[in-house]
Amino acid sequence: GAVVSQHPSWVICKSGTSVKIECRSLDFQATTMFWYRQFPKQSLMLMATSNEGSKATYEQGVEKDKFLINHASLTLSTLTVTSAHPEDSSFYICSATKEGGTGELFFGEGSRLTVL
Amino acid sequence: EDQVTQSPEALRLQEGESSSLNCSYTVSGLRGLFWYRQDPGKGPEFLFTLYSAGEEKEKERLKATLTKKESFLHITAPKPEDSATYLCAVQSRLSGNTGKLIFGQGTTLQVKP
């Protein structure tokens, strides 16, 4: 299989605090991981692409200092939302491609962030 | 600019009533077209990948087809458990091996018993 796990699945935090979301590929090595954001009834918007051992590539309009991405190993990427504000409340989903695979993306279950 | 448009936005069917979902795309060299199913509050679940015009793939009641401009997801005799949002996405050859996908807005399907 190709299982991608996210943690936590939901988190509530106060405005101004930072929140870390983990994304792990459980049964394969992921050279590249992606972070998406999804607002209610909207499609997935790519935030950034992260490659193991290098800096993430952010999409236009995404603040790299606010959304810190670390891809420390071939099975783990983290997204940290720094100084979170209510407008950062969203559904964050990570995905990964298999090393040597055919380009299919396998998605995590998503993390629902609510900033009060 | 690479773009994906899905229609209809929402679709209501009676159980057993077959229909099709459309995904129109413009891309700088298609590397692959993907269909995903997404249930509320969950991440997308991979369904199919299509690589070239004329290709078809099937899985249970679902069949995906591809032309040079669009893809269809045909649902035959749907059941209530097929209710979900179906997402279409394309991968451009220019994205190389990065795996970057451009998603459509999705079609939310509701199948009533």
Taking only the tens place, the pLDDT of each residue in B41-86 is 899 999 999 999 999 999 999 999 999 999 999 999 999 999 999 9
CA of A27: how far to CAs of A2, B36, B96, in Å?
A: 6, 20, 24
CB contact under 8 A, A103 and B44: no
CB contact under 8 A, A32 and B91: no
3-state secondary structure of A89: coil
Q: Is the pLDDT of residue B27 over 70?
A: yes
Q: In this predicted model, what pLDDT tens digit does every residue of A49-92 receive, in sequence order?
A: 998 888 899 999 999 999 999 988 889 999 999 999 999 999 99
Task: Measure the CA angle with vertex B70, ends B26 and B2; round to 5°.
Answer: 15
Identify the closest residue of chain B to A51 by CA–CA distance.
B98
What is the rounded distance in angstroms from the CA atom of residue A56 to the CA atom of residue B25?
27
Query: Is A63 touching B (CB cutoff 8 A)?
Result: no
What is the rounded distance in angstroms from the CA atom of residue A108 to the CA atom of residue B44?
8
Q: Is the pLDDT of residue B97 over 80?
A: no
